Amino acid sequence: MMDPRSSDSPEPPSGPSRIVSGHSALDRKPWLLALAGGVMVPLSMEPWGLTLLMPIGFVLLARALKDSSIRRALLIGWVFGLAVEGLGLPWIGTAVSRFLAIFVLGDPGSGIATAMGAGAFLLRWPLASLGWGLCAASIVLAPNKVLLRAIWAGVCFMVMEAYWPRIFRWTMGAAYATEDPSGSWLLLQWFGVEEMLLLAVASGFLAASCWDRSVRTRRDWLVTIPALVLMAAPSIPLPQAQPADSASASDGAPLTVSIVQPVLPLEQRHDREGAAAQLKKIRALIEIASEGPMTDQPVLILLPEAILPQSWKIEWVQEWCLDWLSQPTVIGLSLREDQGFSNAVVLLSPRIDEHTRNRSVEVQLGRKKELLPFGETVPFGEFLAGLGIELPLTELVAGKEAVTFSVGGDFPPLGISICYEGILPETAVQTIEQGARWHANLTEDLWYGDWCLPAQHLQFQRARAIESGQLWLRSVNAGISAAIDPRSEGRRSILSTRQWVGDRWSTWHNTTDAGQVALPMGQVGILQLQIASDFSPQGTAPLSLPSASPLLLLYSLLAVYWWNLKRLLKVR
C-alpha cells in the first residue's frame, strides 16, 4: 500500500485553477472570520462610529475566502452579509409594521402589524445578504494576482451597493463622514462616497495578502499602508476652518435660516379629527421660527417632508397661510392633483402689493423624483394594474427633475431633496447643475424607530454634503434635524446658531469651526442659523468615477478573467 505521505503521492492542484476547497468541513475559522468581519462593517457606521473597523472587516473576509471553492465562497460571503445587514436592517420591520398599522389596519398598536413587520425583516434579511455572497463568489473567480484581485473585490462590492435590489440605496463608504471634520473628509472630497467603499475593500484585501507568507519582506508590509491610512484618517483632526466674509451684498447682514423639528406622531398626522390642532401647532412653530435676530430681516424657514396633515391642493395651502405668513417657508405636503397624488414640497413666499396693500402668497412647487419602492410606488405597478391586480398602496406621481428653488433676496438658489433622495449620488449633482449653491433635505424618520437608522440616515446625507461641498440643511419631523458645514475651501459658512427648545430661545453661540450642528433627537425645537452669504459648492469630487464606471470596470475585469481562463486551458 502506498504511503500517503510519500513523495510519489499526487499533490493537490494549486493556483488559479484550483476549484476544490482546501478547508476541512469542520474548520470553523473561515466562518468565524466572516462573521466577525461582517459585524465590523456596520459598527464602523453611526451610531457606533468605529470607522477604523471598516478595512479590518474586509481583511477578515479576505482571509476567510483564502483557498475557497465557489460554493464555499458564496456561503462565507452570505454569512458576512448576514452580519452586515442584521445590524442595519431591523428598521425595515418597524417601518412595515407602522405602515400597516396606520394605513391598512387603522390600529397603531396592532399586534398583527408587529408580527408582519417581523416577518418582513426575516424575509428581507437573508435576501439582502445574498448580494454579499455573490460578490464573495465572484472574487474567488478572479485571476490570482494580488492587486488585480483587490481591485476586483472593491469594484464588485461597489457595483453591488449601487445595483443590488434594496429598499434604500446606500453605501458603506459613508462611514468616513465623521461628525467632526477629520482627514476622512478630505478623502470624501477627493474621491467621493462610493469610491471610499472601493478603497476600503481593496485596501483590506491588499493587507490580507501580507499574511499569506510565512516570512514577510518589506515589500509585503507595504501593501498594508492603504488600510492603515484609511484606519487613521478619521482620527486625524483638520486645521480649524476660517470664518468667511459674512457681509451680504445689500445690507451687510448674514443670511438667517430656521430649521423646524415639529415631532408630530404619525398616527395623528393622518387623523382627520386632529388636523386642525396639528395645523395650529405648525403655524405656531412657523411664527416662532420667523423671529430673526433683527427686525425686518428675512428668515428662510424649513419644515419636514409631508408635515401638513392629509392631502392638499395648492389653492388650499395659499388660503391657509395667506393672513399670517410673514417669511419665505419651504414645507412638505401630500399634493392632490388631477393626475394623482405626489410627495411634494412648496416654497411659500408672502407678497404685499405696494399700492393696494393686498396680501398674496407666491408658490414654487417641486415633486419627489425618486420614489421609494414598496412605499410610494410598486415596481411594475402599471403592468400589474393592467392585469387587474389591485395594488397594496396608492401609486404616487414622480417628479421629472431635481427640485431647485429661487428664494429671492440675498438667498442663493436652494436645492431640495425629499427623504432618501438626499442619500443618492445624483441628487446634489443635479441641483448644482441647475444653479443651486446650497441644499435642504426634508424627511421623516418616525417610520424607522429610534435605534440606528436616524443616525445613519443623517450620516449618509453628511457624506453627500462633504462630497459635494454644499452647505446642507436638514429638517426632520422626529429624527435629527441638523445643519452640516463641509468647510468648502477651508472657510466655514455657519457663523452662529441658537435653538428654541421648550418655550424660549437660547442665546446665540458663535461657531468656531466647520462641522455639524443638530437639535436633540425627538424633541420639538427650532435650529436657527446665521450663514455667510458668499459660500458656494465645490462640485463633484475631482477623483470620483463617472456614474457608469462601476459596470464598465466590472466588464473590463471580466474580460481580463476570461482571457486568463483561456490561457490556462491552452496550457493544459
Is 10 a domain residue?
no
Same domain, 313 and 198: no
Which band of pLDDT confidence, cut at 50, 70 and 90, is reported for residue 377?
confident
CA distances from 149 to 138, 368, 509 (A): 10, 40, 51
Same domain? 203 vs 312: no
Say which amino acid occupies 194. Answer: E
Q: Is the pLDDT of residue 163 over 70?
A: yes
522 and 416 within one domain: yes
pLDDT digits (tens, 9 = 90+) for 411-427: 999 999 999 899 988 89
Is position 59 within any domain?
A: yes
Q: What is the pLDDT of residue 19?
A: 40
Do 294 and 218 lie in a common domain?
no
Same domain, yes or no: 270 and 182 = no
For 568, the enclosing helix (H) or strand (E) is helix 549-571
**Residue where the block lists cell 468541513:** 25
- In the structure, what pLDDT confidence band is assigned to residue 344 with cuts at 50, 70 and 90? very high
pTM higher than the cut 0.85: yes
| Nearest partner of 204 among 170, 160, 172, judged by Cα | 172
Q: 3-state SS string over 192-231?
A: CHHHHHHHHHHHHHHHHHHHHCCCCCHHHHHCCHHHHHHH
Please indicate, yes or no, whether residues 144 and 287 belong to a single structural domain of this protein.
no
Query: Which residue, 204, 238, 272, sits at the end of a domain?
Result: 238
- Domain match, 127 and 36 both: yes
3-state class of 39 per DSSP? Answer: helix
292, 214: one domain: no
Out of 203, 238, 273, a domain closes at 238
Report yes or no on 429 lying in a domain: yes
pLDDT in tens, 461-482: 999 999 998 999 999 998 899 9
CA dist 125 and 548 (Å) reads 28
Each residue of 496-553: pLDDT tens digit?
A: 999 998 889 999 999 988 899 999 998 999 999 999 877 777 666 777 776 666 666 6
Q: For residue 24, is pLDDT > 60?
A: no
206 with 281, same domain?
no
CB contact at 8 A, 144 and 133? no
Sorting pLDDT into bands at 50, 70 and 90, what band is 25? very low
Is 545 part of a structural domain of the chain? no
Residues 261 and 230 in one domain: no
Closest by CA position to 136, among listed 38, 230, 28 = 38
For residues 344-361, give the mean pLDDT.
91
Specify the amino acid at residue 164: W
Look up the domain containing 288 and give its range: 256-531
pLDDT value for 391: 61
Q: Is the dihedral of CA 561, 563, 564, 565 positive or negative?
A: positive
How far apart, in whole angstroms, are the C-alpha atoms of residue 568 and residue 556?
19
CATH number, position 451: 3.60.110.10
Q: Does residue 550 lie within any of the structural domains?
A: no
Reported confidence tier of residue 375, pLDDT bands at 50, 70, 90: confident
3 confidence band (pLDDT: 50, 70, 90): very low
Query: Is residue 11 one of the residues assigned to a domain?
Result: no
How confident is residue 568, by pLDDT bands cut at 50, 70 and 90? low
Same domain, 296 and 225: no
Whether residue 61 lies inside any domain: the answer is: yes
Q: What are phi and psi of 199, to 5 degrees?
A: -65, -40
Q: Which among 537, 541, 438, 432 is positioned nearest to 491, based on CA atoms?
A: 537
Cα–Cα–Cα angle for 99, 100, 102, rounded to 5 degrees? 70
Domain contains 484 = yes
Q: 478: exposed, middle or buried (C-beta count within 10 Å: 0-12, 13-18, 19+)?
A: buried
Q: Taking all residues of the chain, what is their mean pLDDT, rounded to a whole number?
A: 85
The total number of structural domains in the chain stands at: 2
Close Cβ partners of 110 (under 8 Å, ≥ 6 residues apart): 97, 100, 101
* Bridge partners for 497 per DSSP: 509, 529
Q: Are residues 196 and 293 in the same domain?
A: no
